[in-house]
Structure 1
Amino acid sequence: MAYYNSKGGLPPQTQITTDRAMFTESYAVIPKGVFSDIVTSLLPGWESTRLWVIARPLSGFAETFSQYVVEVGPGGGSDDPETEAGTEAVLFVTSGSVTVTIDDEEHVLTEGGYAFIPPSSTWKLRNETGELANFHWIRKAYQPAPGIDEPEPVIANENDIAPTPMPDCDGAWSTTRFVDPTDLRHDMHVTVVTFEPGGVIPFAETHVMEHGLYVLEGKAVYRLNQDWVEVEAGDFMWLRAFCPQACYAGGPGKFRYLLYKDVNRHMPLTLSR
């Protein structure tokens, strides 16, 4: 599997500023060229670490989650990574190796490695190698449901899971699922979606789930609301609930992205103030 990793740096002074970056009321596109050194963030309690914040709860933007692209140097990491109670997390490793300890149980995640961390778990993360490590960190405030237990930790690797073909697509469109989609304990799903060259989403999906899509590999033309936008490995897309979406995978290789969506819960009828 191929996994794009942001490298930072700055574009040369000779580069023109025209780009594919877009921010609208229904979607946003953050192209890979935006991931420069001057937009990185540092976090208290994290050592030898920098990150790009690509989604955060914000009026008119992401409502249910935040997402970081994290780069950890040798020996770096945190013994107290999460500061907000009730927060669940998914980690997805795109290069190198990190050691994640969840409730005193140690796990080594390599490329394609996935970890779901429940909101009541304690955890820490360290890069115990001599090379940089890169991973995505998706955070969400867990939404309990009556009679539903909190989910347990999940450790997996994309390379060990057979993708599930979508119906009537002859294998052109598939999804790698890390948790059972019928497990109501989970209020979010993070999956890897794969299109073979020429594969499509053959209709304008319009649904209540909010989406974050980070392109891991390949290129495509993606429909966002009424616009068709070219995207490639390293780009991030945010889609508001009910934003129509469709896709044509452009080839010559696979088009794959890491997908977030909120699931399995009633819609709150009282907005928080």
Structure 2
Amino acid sequence: MANFAHLDADITSRSRSITKPGSYIILTQADRVNSTLPNWRDTKAKIMTTPALGAKFVEYEMVIQSGGGTKQPVNDGFQHFLFVLEGEATFELAGETHELIQGGTIWLPPDHPFTLVNNSDAVTRMLWLRRRYIELEGVAIPDPIITNEKDVEAVPEDTYVEKHLIPYDNELGYDMAFNLLIFEPGTHFGFVESHIMEHGLYMLDGRGFYYLNGDLIEVKKDDYIYMAPFCPQYFAATGWETGRYILYKDVNRDYIDEL
């Protein structure tokens, strides 16, 4: 008979992850499981959202060791968003090389093959989201975006400020948004939001309380939240540190197409 006396009997009580299908999930860093993706070497993918949840996108935390990266160009017919959480990476697109650092931001429309390699001596962590692009008749597909969040202007929004890393407000060609929201301690939403978009949210800094479909839950740096469409949501920043999170949502399309 197995002897489990050496194991920590309190480990389950310390888990903060929650899964409520059709509503939301909270996936903490401690509870994420490493996966291996076929086209990546020396890289672990912590898969945070998939269609198994009912989502229309897949989002990963990619942990890339020194020398790791893509084995061959990524060319899968999807649009891509990448964001450097920490470390460095060399990104190549259409024969041009770009050196990415923390805060590096990339959006790619479909059919733009790319490679990415960690040429540094330290581990690099990145967010990576893939989703099918929805074309609009008569609207051009935008060109790729390669920038850094530090170069994107922060603008007031409700009770906080935010950076629109994809300029979807004035360009219908974009069907996704990635916004970086910034909350000083004590700042909170002005109301409880409940709308059609689904969300993928990654806490970059700080901590606070998230209200999700009737549940009030404390969240902190490196927590991940998936919110299904119409999930009531509200955030209040706590602690002493400025809170920041990066938020995905689908935009600029008519949901009648889902009928």
Secondary structure of the corresponding residue to residue 203 of structure 1: coil
In 1, the alpha carbon distance for the partners of 2:55 and 2:42 equals 30
Q: Does 1:248 align with 2:236?
A: yes
Mapped partners of 2:242, 2:150: distance in 1: 15
Q: How many residue pairs align between the two structures?
A: 250
Structure 1 segments unaligned to the other structure (5+ residues): 1-11
Unaligned ranges ≥5, structure 2: 1-5
Which of 13, 16, 20 is equivalent to 2:11?
16
- Over residues 36-91 of structure 1, what are the superposed CA-to-partner deviations in whole Å (9 max), with x where a residue is unaligned? xxx20111121111110001112xx2422111000111111114353532x00111
Distance 2:235 2:123 in 1: 33
Measure how far apart 1:202 and its partner are.
Answer: 2.1
AA matched with 2:238 = G
User: Secondary structure of 2:191's match?
Assistant: strand
Structure 1 residue aligned with 2:61? 69
Matched residue type, 1:30: L
2:252 and 2:79 mapped to 1: Cα distance?
15
Q: Which residue, 42, 45, 64 being the options, matches 1:48?
A: 42
Give the structure with the higher percent helix: 2
Please report the RMSD computed on the Cα atoms of aligned residues, expressed in angstroms. 1.6
Residues 130-188 of structure 1 deviation map (CA, whole Å, 9 limit, x = unaligned): 22111110111111111111111101111222311114x3xxx1111123222111100
Identity %: 34
Residue in 1 aligned with 2:3? none
Task: Give the counterpart letter for 1:45 in structure 2.
Answer: N
Given the two structures, how large is their TM-score scaled by the length of structure 2?
A: 0.92
1:78 and 2:70 correspond = yes
Structure 2: distance between partners of 1:45 and 1:84: 11
Task: State the partner residue of 1:30.
Answer: 27
Show the 5 A alignment for 1:16-165. Answer: 16-18=11-13, 19-24=15-20, 25-35=22-32, 39-58=33-52, 61-80=53-72, 82=74, 84-85=76-77, 87-165=78-156
Q: Secondary structure at the match of 2:150?
A: helix
**Alignment of 1:237 onto 2:229:** no
- TM-score by structure 1 length? 0.87
- Whole-Å Cα distance in 2 between the matches of residues 239 and 46 of structure 1? 28
For 1:134 and 1:22, how far apart are their aligned partners in 2? 23
Q: Secondary structure at the match of 2:102?
A: coil
- The separation in 1 between residues aligned to 2:79 and 2:154, in whole angstroms, is 24
